[in-house]
Structure 1
Amino acid sequence: MFAKVIVDISHESIDKCFTYRVPTDFSLSVGDPVLIPFGRGKKKGYVIGIEELADFPEEKIKDILSPLEKEFSVEKQLLDLAIWMAEEYGTTLNQCLKTVLPVKKKTKNRTKPGKIQYGNPYPAPKLNAEQEEVLFAMQEYFQEEKVPSALLFGVTGSGKTELYLRLIEDCLSKGKEVIYLIPEISLSHQSRMRVEGRFPGQVAV
C-alpha cells in the first residue's frame, strides 16, 4: 500500500504529493500526520491519499518512518476545504492545511479586572426591533437549500457582529460548522475574545 503525502514545507517548488510506502504494521488514514524521510533529513507530512498501486517504480519509493500520533489529524472535510482553498487562492496546500488545523499551544490563565477571558460566557445583548427584523429575514433566507452569498450592510456599531453570532448559533444548533473570517488582523484579538466567549470550547483559531 502507498500513501500520497504533502510535506510540511510551505514552498511552491515542493507543493505537490510525494509517494511513500506504508509499512504493513502501520494503520493510516487520509489526513493522518506522518514522519517521512525527505532529502537528507526527516520531515512531517500529511497523508492526503492512499493507493494500492504506485505510479512509478516501487524500488525508488521510501517507507514512511512512523505515524505522528501526538499531532492533530486532518478531518476529511477540512482536507477538502484546504485543497479547495489552495486551488481557489493560488497558495500552497501545506499553508492551507495549517490554516484549517487547530493551533496546539499552551496558554496561561491571566485575569485582569474588567477583562473577559477566552472561554468565559459572553452574554448576548438584547436586539432592537430593526436588528430582530433583519435577523429573522436572514434566518428565513438561509433556510433555502442552495443559498447564494448575502451582504449585511450597516454602519459601525449597528450590531452586525451580533447578528453574525446569532446566525452562527443557528448553524451550530443544527450540527453544522462555521468559518468566521476577519477582515483585518488588528481585529483578531477582540473578535476571538467575543466568539470564544459566546461559544466556549467550540472554537478553533
Structure 2
Amino acid sequence: MPARYADVIVDITHADVDRVFTYGIPAGMDIVPGTRVSIPFGRQTTEGFVIGVKDEPGIDPDKIKDINAPLEEYPAILPQLIDLAQDMSAQTHCPLAATLRLMVPAQMRGGRIKVKTEKAAQLLVAGDALEDARKAQSRAPKRRLLLDLLSDGEVHPVSELAVLVRQPLEGLRALEQQGFVRVIDQEVLRSPYPDDAVTEPDPVLTAQQQEVLGELLPAVRSGTGQFLLYGVTGSGKTEVYIRAVRACLEAGKGAIVLIPEIVLTPQMVTW
C-alpha cells in the first residue's frame, strides 16, 4: 500500500473528468505538486497534473491505482501557477486541465519533446594502466591518439574528437571493448537563441530620439523622474529604451524591460 497519495487532474479537457482523482505514489518515487505524471486511466495510459500530495487517500485504498512515473525530474508547474490555473478555471468555468495546460509549453505535452543527447567518451584508466593501453595500440594510431585526447579524464563529445580524428566512434567502440574507455549518451541542453548572435552597429538617432534622451538620461543617472514615452509604431521607442537601459547598467543600477510580445524576446536579449 502506498505511503502517500497524489491529487491528480487528468489531462483531458472534458466536463465528465473535470475533478480530482487520487493516485498512489509508489515507494521511492519523488512526487510534489506541479509534477506531470503518467497515469493509468480506464483502459488507457494518459498524462496528468499533480496539484496536491497527502498522507490519507480519503477513499478505499483498494480502489486506488498507482502513478506510473513522473514525466520530468522536476515539477513543471510552480505552486503559484497552480493557484493561477485554479482561479482561471473558477472564473471562466472551464476545465482545470485546460488552464493547467496554459502553464507549460505545448510541446511538453504528449511526449513531443525528447531529451537531446550526443555521444561522448571518457577514459577509464590512468597512470601505468594508461601507458599499457597506449602500448597495446601500437598498430592502431587512431586509437592511440584517442587515448591521448582523453587523457585528462574528462567527458568529451565525439563531435569534439571528430575535429582531430576522422570517424572516431569506431575506434572508441574498440577501446570500450578493451575496457579502456566508456562511450555514453549525454544530454545536450537546447538554446532558444541562435548559435552566433549577430550584433549590428547602433543606428543613428533621430532628432526626436536625441531630444527625448537629452531629458531622460540625466534623470536616469540621478535616479529621479517618471516618464511615459509615447510614439507610433516604428517611431524608435525601443532604441530609446535600449540607450536608457545601458545608462542604468553603466551607472551600476538595474533595469526591468517588459516585453509586449514574447516573439520579441530574442531581439531584446541580443542588446
The TM-score, its normalising length taken from structure 1, stands at: 0.58
Q: 1:175 to 1:132 in 2, by over 3 A?
A: closer
Compare CA radii of gyration and give the structure with the larger one.
2
2:104 to 92, 101, 120: 101
Partners of 1:168 and 1:47 lie apart in 2 by: 40
Task: Give distance in 1, aligned partners of 2:85 and 2:28.
Answer: 29
* C-alpha distance 157-176 of structure 1, shift in aligned 2 (>3 A): closer
Aligned to 1:196: 266
Question: Matched residue of 1:100: which SS?
Answer: coil
Q: Report if the CA contact (8 A) 1:2-1:19 is conserved.
A: yes
AA aligned to 2:68 is L
Going from structure 1 to structure 2, the CA distance change for 1:97 and 1:59 (only over 3 Å counts) comes to same
Match of 1:144 in 2: none
What amino acid sits opposite 1:20 in the alignment? Answer: Y
Q: Corresponding residue for 1:6?
A: 9
Q: Report the alpha carbon displacement of residue 55 of structure 1 after superposing the two structures with TM.
A: 2.3
Give the whole-Å Cα distance in 1 for the aligned partners of 2:14 and 2:244. Answer: 37
Q: Which has the higher contact order (CA 8 A, sep 6+)?
A: 1
RMSD: 4.4
Cα contact 2:32–2:75 (8 A) shared by 1: no
1:59-117 superposed Cα distances (whole Å, 9 cap, x missing partner): 222211222236872222332332233233333322222222134558xxxxxxxxxx9
* Distance (whole Å) between structure 1 residues aligned to residue 72 and residue 57 of structure 2: 25
Give aligned pairs, total: 169
Task: Give the alignment's TM-score, normalised by structure 2.
Answer: 0.46
C-alpha spacing 1:98/1:7, structure 2 compared with 1 (3 Å): same
Deviation, 1:56, is 2.1
Runs of 5+ consecutive residues of structure 1 not aligned to the other structure: 107-116, 142-150, 183-190, 201-205
Q: Secondary structure at the match of 1:25?
A: coil
Within 5 A, what are the aligned runs for 1:40-59?
40-59=43-62
1 CA distance for matches of 2:15 and 2:193? 36
Q: Which amino acid aligns with 1:80?
A: D
- Residues 85 and 25 of structure 1: CA distance in aligned 2, closer, same or farther (over 3 Å): same
Assess, with a 3 A threshold, how the Cα gap between structure 1 residues 177 and 131 changes in structure 2: closer, same or farther. Answer: closer
Q: Quick one: distance in 2 between partners of 1:35 and 1:71?
A: 14
Letter aligned with residue 36 of structure 2: P
- 1:83 matches 2:50: no
Change (3 A) 1:87 1:153: farther
